[in-house]
């Protein structure tokens, strides 16, 4: 007995759907969450920056999507194991910190031989790391074979930490406020002398009563 064409097509569609559904269930399912917000305190120590930098490379920075640590063979991007040592002499004229900064802000400016360009600029969308987060990443990269030295006050060719805040308006730089004065307030203005009194700093005439009108000069006519 020959089965009609329409039922055969329907059975083929059902079998194909069931097969690919089964294969799809065999693939491990990983739940991807938005990266956790990272607090960069102004008083972070270098060891704390290393820890934060590690978290950024594994999360928000997406560094471990392409980079490996301690693997060899056919790799998509260079392995980061011992990268702090190689960074010291990778590009002539660039220090370790400057090389890391260039690799993060301008990744295509120097491409390690044997690899293709393709790393995104991580201070721009969609990654969009801040300058402080990048300093933490540099601290972590320094720890991979070296000794971290950067702080949040470290400057490089792509970032200069903000300068100290200017003094409050109305105060002179380097001059402490008078005792009891409110910082930023204008200095007190001396009251004018009372009528009939001599200006401050001028002693009264001998025999004169304080607060009395001055005696007329000789030869003048009193009205």
Note whether residue 176 is domain-resident.
Answer: no
Domain region containing 121 = 46-143
Note whether residue 190 is domain-resident.
Answer: no
Note whether residue 51 is domain-resident.
Answer: yes
Hey, what are 82's tokens?
């011992």
Note whether residue 53 is domain-resident.
Answer: yes
Which of 216, 98, 206, 81 lies closest to 149 in space, CA to CA? 98
Hey, what are 125's tokens?
């969308």
Note whether residue 13 is domain-resident.
Answer: no
Read out DSSP for 38-89? ----TT--HHHHHHHHHHHHHTTT-GGGT--SS--SS-SS---TTHHHHHTT
Residue 68 maps to which CATH number? 1.10.760.10
| Calpha distance 137→154 (Å, rounded) | 13
99-155 pLDDT per residue, tens:
999 999 999 999 999 999 999 999 999 999 999 999 999 999 999 999 999 999 999
Number of domains present in the structure of the chain = 1
Note whether residue 55 is domain-resident.
Answer: yes
| Calpha distance 111→189 (Å, rounded) | 66
65-89 pLDDT per residue, tens:
999 999 888 788 999 999 999 999 9
52-66 pLDDT per residue, tens:
999 999 999 999 999
Note whether residue 115 is domain-resident.
Answer: yes
- Per 3-state DSSP, the chain is made up of helix, strand and coil in percentages (nearest 5) of 30, 0, 70
């Amino acid at each position: 007995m020959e089965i009609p064409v329409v039922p055969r097509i329907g059975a083929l569609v059902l079998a194909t759907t069931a097969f690919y559904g089964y294969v799809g269930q065999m693939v491990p399912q990983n739940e991807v969450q938005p990266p956790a917000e990272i607090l960069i305190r102004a008083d972070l120590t270098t060891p704390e920056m290393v820890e934060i930098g590690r978290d950024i490379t594994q999360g928000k920075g997406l560094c471990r999507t392409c980079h490996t640590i301690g693997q060899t063979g056919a790799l998509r991007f260079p392995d980061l194991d011992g990268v702090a040592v190689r960074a010291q002499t990778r590009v002539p004229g660039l220090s370790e910190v400057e090389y890391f900064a260039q690799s993060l802000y301008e990744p295509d400016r120097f491409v390690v031989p044997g690899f293709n360009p393709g790393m995104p600029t991580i201070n721009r969308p969609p990654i969009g790391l801040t300058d402080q987060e990048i300093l933490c990443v540099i601290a972590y990269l320094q720890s991979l074979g070296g000794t971290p030295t950067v702080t949040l006050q470290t400057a490089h060719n792509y970032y200069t930490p903000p300068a100290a805040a200017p003094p409050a308006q109305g105060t002179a730089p380097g001059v402490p406020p008078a005792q009891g004065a409110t910082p930023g307030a204008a200095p007190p203005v001396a009251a004018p002398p009372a009528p009939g009194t001599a200006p401050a700093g001028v002693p009264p005439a001998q025999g004169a009563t304080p607060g009395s009108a001055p005696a007329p000069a000789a030869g003048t006519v009193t009205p």
